[in-house]
Structure 1
Amino acid sequence: MNPTIERLKLIFLAVFAVLVVGVIVWTVGWALPQKKCESQRKWWDPGQRVCAQPVLISDITGRTIQDKQAEAEARAAIGRPAAPAPKQP
């Protein structure tokens, strides 16, 4: 067979193999962790590949959300259950 055809065949096979490995690495390293993170209702940072737990501002500042509907919506948006009722002394 023509040596040029053999060389081109090997080049195309090598490029194909590199692309397949690249797709597998991307899928295992970025796509699957992102999908898992987002299914847990967390934040995915693709640059650092970090799955972070969202935090309500009220948790940081200590100030409570006065509107109970807004608080319930905020907690639902980050995947937390509703706040427990305050204890009566």
Structure 2
Amino acid sequence: MNPTIERLKLIFLGVFALLVVGVAVWTFGWAIPEKNCKEARKWWDPGQRVCAQPVLISDITGRTIQDKQAEAEARAAIGRPAPAPAPAPAPQQQP
């Protein structure tokens, strides 16, 4: 066979192999972690490839959200359940 055709064949096979490896690295390094992060309802930073847990501002400042419906919506938006209600105080017995 013509040596030019053999050389071109090897070049194309090499380029194809590099592209396949590039797609595999992108898939397992960026696409799958991003998908898993978003399914867990967290924030994905593509620049640093970090999956971060969202935090309510009220958790940082200590100020509570006064509107219970707004608090429930904020907790649902970050995928956190509402806090359990405080237990009722036990009645004191008279001696």
> Once the two structures are superposed, what CA deviation does each residue of 1:7-32 show, in whole Å capped at 9, x if it has no partner?
11100000000000000000111111
Partner of 2:20: 20
1:42 aligns with 2:80: no
Partners of 2:34 and 2:87 lie apart in 1 by: 39
Partners of 1:43 and 1:88 lie apart in 2 by: 37
Partners of 2:35 and 2:41 lie apart in 1 by: 10
Partners of 1:47 and 1:38 lie apart in 2 by: 15
User: Normalising by the residue count of structure 1, what TM-score does the alignment of the two structures yield?
Assistant: 0.94
Structure 1: unaligned runs, 5 residues or longer: none
| Bigger relative CO (Cα 8 Å, ≥ 6 apart) | 1
Partners of 1:71 and 1:43 lie apart in 2 by: 19
Aligned residues: 89
How many Å apart are 1:50 and its aligned residue?
0.6
Structure 2: unaligned runs, 5 residues or longer: 90-95
CA RMSD of aligned residues (A): 1.1
How many Å apart are 1:88 and its aligned residue?
4.8
